[in-house]
Amino acid sequence: MALLKATRNAQWPLMAEFTFNFDDTMVDINGVTKDFKTFGGNPVVDAINLPANANVIGGELVVETPYASTTVATVSVGDSASATRYGSAINLMSAARTALTLTGFRGAGENLRLTFNLTVANATAGKATVRVLYTIQGRSNEVQTN
């Protein structure tokens, strides 16, 4: 059994962000190039690479330009183990900020994954940014004396 001592190490949070426009393209998790506007295309993309032992401690999805001309436009935020770990069916059709759900999950290197759902018609507008704050277990940026 280990003898524990109070920690004096500290780290600052890291921040990563990913912005997408309705007419951008990206290679999805199956290696197929898809866009973020096509009805029925519904891309699933790994948008932010997170390191092993990352713990998401904050984040948001901000719709800067609402999606238009489609009946439903949502995105779920998760990873390869849970498509909705941090957010489920977030509406892309209203300019708004949605805080991500914090679960305390410490990953083994799973990337932040976006799963889109677009129905009825192709989008003609839309832009959003997802941002995450995270720490990495065992990392230290400085040592505090007292």
Dihedral sign, CA of 32, 18, 116, 105?
positive
User: How do residues 102-139 score in pLDDT, each as one tens digit?
Assistant: 989 999 999 999 999 999 899 999 999 999 999 999 99
| pLDDT of 7 strictly over 90 | no
d(CA 67, CA 21): 9
d(CA 116, CA 131): 17
Distances (CA, A) of 19 to 52, 54, 65, 76: 23, 21, 11, 15
Q: Structure pTM?
A: 0.91
| pLDDT of 146 strictly over 80 | no
Bridge partner residues of 116 (DSSP): 75
DSSP SS3 for 4: coil
The domain locations on the chain are: 19-138
User: How do residues 76-101 score in pLDDT, each as one tens digit?
Assistant: 999 999 999 999 999 999 999 999 99
Q: Which residues contact 128 (CB under 8 A, 6 or more apart)?
A: 19, 20, 61, 62, 63, 64, 65, 75, 92
